[in-house]
Amino acid sequence: MTHPTPTHPFSTPRDLFRYAITRFNTEKLFFGHGSSNALDEAAYLILHTLQLPLETLDPFLDARLLPEEVATVLKVIERRAADRVPAAYITHEAWLGSYRFYVDERVIVPRSFIAELIPTFFSPWVADPESVTDILELCTGSGCLPIMLADAFPNAHVDTADISRDALDVAFINVADYDLEERITLIESDLYTNVPDKKYDLIVSNPPYVNSGSMGQLPQEYLHEPQIALAGGGDGMDLVRKIVAGAAQRLNDNGVLMVEIGNERAFAEAAFPELELTWVTTSAGDDMVFLITAQQLKQQLKQ
């Protein structure tokens, strides 16, 4: 008995998995939006596209796929490899720890070292997580950090601001997905401009901080993201200066400001020579997130 010749050489996830890895490595893709290598990215995209459980590729490696399933996966591989579209924009989801968020091209792909610190309640700088009642988060993007903050601090209301209406529309989707509409207020605002006149226990921000020199050297994948959410001016500190300048009058006496600045520690220390920044340890070391207390800020105002 003869069998018809397949219309293309791929018939199983194993075939597609091998092909995707080769394709991604050949194109020298940049992996900085969730996965860190071609193997993990290929597995994620194939499993998501086929609507199979994530992280369980092995049981399905040799399953026979329908021709239309193969065609759909090949389109996804090509979009990632040829167009350099971040995987999160293809799947419309991104993960921070165990949290899943909807994303599209209106927001940058969620990634934050502050997210690593939230499950430990910013210890030891926050002595009693249950006493935290008011949090302000600036430059919210997809809404990932305020959602994690509201989850970690059960008695807190989170005000979260972004200058982009498009970003806030995405954040609203995620806030609703987590049923946190009553605990998170989304505010269209240029930093503090439209923020309520009140005191906060915590101000948290992962603002645009890429300096102008680095902006010109970003991988192609980053060019798919809204540039307003990345560019931080000549030294990357344009928005960071404004965030620090406005924090003193908005923090409670025992409040804390926490800001993520990526690889810009040297620029941050040069921007605030009069402040002794506390650098918080993350998985990437001690250069990504700094902390300033309300007492430090208020002491500076007296000088």
Domain assignment present for residue 96? The answer is no
Instruction: Please indicate, yes or no, whether residues 134 and 275 belong to a single structural domain of this protein.
Output: yes
Is it the case that residue 207 has pLDDT exceeding 60? yes
Instruction: Please indicate, yes or no, whether residues 26 and 163 belong to a single structural domain of this protein.
Output: no
Instruction: Please indicate, yes or no, whether residues 183 and 63 belong to a single structural domain of this protein.
Output: no
CA–CA separation, 205 and 219 (whole Å)? 24
Domain assignment present for residue 100? The answer is no
Is it the case that residue 8 has pLDDT exceeding 70? no
Q: Which helix H or strand E contains 48, and what residues bound it?
A: helix 38-49
Expressed as residue numbers, the domain containing 204 is 112-302
Domain assignment present for residue 98? The answer is no
Domain limit, last residue, from 60, 91, 122: 91
Instruction: Please indicate, yes or no, whether residues 182 and 46 belong to a single structural domain of this protein.
Output: no
What confidence score (pLDDT) does residue 112 get?
94
How many domains does the chain fold into? 2
Domain assignment present for residue 287? The answer is yes
Domain assignment present for residue 97? The answer is no
Instruction: Please indicate, yes or no, whether residues 205 and 285 belong to a single structural domain of this protein.
Output: yes
What confidence score (pLDDT) does residue 276 get?
92
Instruction: Please indicate, yes or no, whether residues 152 and 286 belong to a single structural domain of this protein.
Output: yes
DSSP state of 290: E
> Cα dihedral sign for 108, 111, 117, 119?
positive
CA-CA-CA-CA dihedral for 205, 254, 159, 112, to nearest 10: 30
Instruction: Please indicate, yes or no, whether residues 67 and 135 belong to a single structural domain of this protein.
Output: no
User: Which one has a higher pLDDT value, 211 or 144?
Assistant: 144
Is it the case that residue 301 has pLDDT exceeding 90? no
Share the mean pLDDT of the chain: 94
> Cα dihedral sign for 21, 22, 23, 28?
positive
Instruction: Please indicate, yes or no, whether residues 66 and 202 belong to a single structural domain of this protein.
Output: no
Domain assignment present for residue 122? The answer is yes
In the predicted model, what is the mean pLDDT of residues 2-28?
84
Answer yes or no: are the C-beta atoms of 133 and 104 closer than 8 Å.
no
User: Which residues of the chain form beta strands (DSSP E)?
Assistant: 94-96, 99-101, 134-138, 157-162, 184-188, 200-205, 251-260, 278-282, 285-293
Instruction: Please indicate, yes or no, whether residues 50 and 80 belong to a single structural domain of this protein.
Output: yes
Instruction: Please indicate, yes or no, whether residues 120 and 200 belong to a single structural domain of this protein.
Output: yes
In the predicted model, what is the mean pLDDT of residues 36-57?
95
CATH number of the domain residue 63 falls in: 1.10.8
CA–CA separation, 203 and 256 (whole Å)? 6
* Least confidently predicted of 2-16, 39-53, 75-89, 225-239: 2-16
* Least confidently predicted of 5-14, 229-238, 263-272: 5-14
User: Which one has a higher pLDDT value, 34 or 106?
Assistant: 106
Burial environment of residue 111 by CB neighbours within 10 A (0 to 12, 13 to 18, 19 or more): middle
pLDDT band at 299 (very low <50, low <70, confident <90, very high): confident
Coil, strand or helix at 252: strand
What confidence score (pLDDT) does residue 303 get?
60
Q: Comparing C-alpha atoms, which of 234, 266, 106, 244 is closest to residue 170?
A: 106
In the predicted model, what is the mean pLDDT of residues 182-203?
97
pLDDT band at 5 (very low <50, low <70, confident <90, very high): very low
Helices (H), 154-249: 165-177, 212-215, 238-247
pLDDT in tens, 235-271: 999 999 999 999 999 999 999 999 999 989 999 999 9
Residue % of the chain over a pLDDT of 90:
84
Is it the case that residue 1 has pLDDT exceeding 60? no
Q: How far apart are the first and last CA of the chain?
A: 91
Instruction: Please indicate, yes or no, whether residues 186 and 295 belong to a single structural domain of this protein.
Output: yes
Coil, strand or helix at 11: coil
CATH number of the domain residue 241 falls in: 3.40.50.150
Instruction: Please indicate, yes or no, whether residues 151 and 291 belong to a single structural domain of this protein.
Output: yes
